[in-house]
Amino acid sequence: MQLFRRLTRARLPTDFAEFEAPIRAELFSAERLEQHAQSLAVAQAVTRNPADERKLVPRVRENGRVLHEAHTLIGNAARARRTITPAAEWLLDNFHVVEDQVRDIREHLPASYYRRLPKLADGPLRGYPRVYGLAWAIVAHTDSRFDPDWLIRFVRAYQRVQPLTIGELWAVPISLRIVLVENLRRLAVRIVGAQMARQGADRFVDELLPDAGAQPADLIERAIFGLGSVSLWPAFAVQLVQRLRYRAAGTTALLEWLHHEPAAQGASTDDIVQAQHAGEAAANLTVRNVITSMRAIAAFDWRSFFEDVSLVDATLRLHPGFVAMDFRTRDRYRHAIEELARGAACSEIDVAAAVIDRTQRIPGKGTPVSI
């Protein structure tokens, strides 16, 4: 790390040396997303063991810290008039949106509420809430783009196989925010790592190369060692190639080495350049989607969403008295259903159905539901 710090004249935090893959998978159409929701509902089992629970809030705090540091490093680069990518500009210009998301997550996910959410029994998200797994799938297969209609179709399709609890449905927006923040953290780490690798390549060419007095292979090996992570090598190599192409004689041997060395690993220098540019373009799109989705989620009417997808609500609406109530009163009845189901050996839908059945057996069944 000492050489790379000398090259960049900046501290490269450990968080930005190792990359986690962005939350991005095959893009699905709305119909394919519905099919995936049903497959997911079949595959996802819920654990009954409280000891299996894994906490999300500590990761959210860490993500907030890493994103804050990324924002600072990108801001420093911009103030120094260094070139930054469009993805970095999105993060820099919209960081207040990200801060709002992190703050809202921490304020609106109390421990008591989190404990009651059903947790996954297995898989890579084992121990996390089932609704978090749903949010992860939606974000991955839409490239972080929030579409209310697609979300409603996804949740309805999932519940055709496996009903979700009232608490889980209310946790959909915060779960989406958590996954989006997680994805942005992973992207920000790559953005900052690549930025510092490019800066290191510039310093390498400007300062070390003329005075190094070493063979090309030795120079590159020293640079790779200085990076501290092979994950940063592609961005470093691309910047190095671009800089050397415009330098005077004396760099031919180094360029030749660069063109031949990657080929031994199954990729030419041109392949690395193309892959790096494609990765940057994908990051630009995903970061834009994340920020846009964060704004849309904050503005969306989640009360309407809940009543559109809740199976408990659909059951209670079989009684005309429930339909005639205002939202706050309907919500009080739904909370009562939650409490009754929590202390009974039956589901919330079963409790709601029993309530409707009881009101239909007594006189005055057009009056409001009495629980």
Cα three-residue angle 95-140-296, rounded to 5 degrees = 45
pLDDT tens-digit profile of 269-300? 777 788 888 989 999 999 999 999 999 999 99
> What does the pLDDT read at residue 360?
77
Averaging pLDDT over each range in 14-23, 142-151, 204-213, which range is the top one? 142-151
pLDDT tens-digit profile of 213-240? 555 556 666 655 555 565 677 787 788 7
Query: Would the pLDDT of 7 be above 90?
Result: no
On whether the pTM is more than 0.95, the answer is no
63 vs 221: which has the higher pLDDT: 63
> What does the pLDDT read at residue 288?
97
Q: Which of these ranges, 130-139, 311-320, 333-342, 355-364, has the smallest mean pLDDT? A: 355-364
Tokens of 361: 């057996």
With cut-offs at 50, 70 and 90, classify the pLDDT of residue 151. very high
With cut-offs at 50, 70 and 90, classify the pLDDT of residue 301. very high
Every domain range in the chain assigned CATH 3.90.1200: 10-188+284-300
* Whole-number percent of the chain with pLDDT over 70: 79
Cβ neighbours of 247 (radius 10 Å): 15
> What does the pLDDT read at residue 197?
83
Q: Which of these ranges, 49-58, 84-93, 139-148, 198-207, has the smallest mean pLDDT? A: 198-207
Cβ distance 159 to 311 under 8 Å?
yes
Q: What are the φ and ψ backbone dihedral angles of 266, each rounded to 5 degrees?
A: 90, 10
Query: Would the pLDDT of 119 be above 90?
Result: yes
> What does the pLDDT read at residue 98?
96
Query: Would the pLDDT of 367 be above 80?
Result: no
With cut-offs at 50, 70 and 90, classify the pLDDT of residue 8. very low
Burial of 230 (0-12, 13-18, 19+ CB in 10 A): exposed
Query: Would the pLDDT of 202 be above 90?
Result: no
Strands (E), the chain: none
Averaged pLDDT score across all residues of the chain: 85
User: Which residue has 């063109």 as its token pair?
Assistant: 259
With cut-offs at 50, 70 and 90, classify the pLDDT of residue 211. low
Mean pLDDT of the 136-141 span: 98
> What does the pLDDT read at residue 344?
83
> What does the pLDDT read at residue 168?
98
Mean pLDDT of the 62-91 span: 93
With cut-offs at 50, 70 and 90, classify the pLDDT of residue 358. confident
Mean pLDDT of the 307-314 span: 97
> What does the pLDDT read at residue 32?
97
Distance separating alpha carbons of residues 29 and 142, to the nearest angstrom: 8
> What does the pLDDT read at residue 336?
95
Helix axis angle for 95-107 and 172-203, nearest 10°, is 140
Mean pLDDT of the 22-46 span: 96
Residue 51: HSE in the Cβ half-sphere, 13 Å Cα cutoff: 0
Query: Would the pLDDT of 126 be above 80?
Result: yes
Query: Would the pLDDT of 315 be above 90?
Result: yes
265 vs 197: which has the higher pLDDT: 197
90 vs 253: which has the higher pLDDT: 90
Say if domain 10-188+284-300 classifies as CATH 3.90.1200. Answer: yes
Mean pLDDT of the 332-360 span: 91
- Which residue, among 13, 1, 4, has the nearest Cα to 76 in the 3D structure? 13
Q: Which of these ranges, 26-35, 54-63, 109-118, 205-214, has the smallest mean pLDDT? A: 205-214
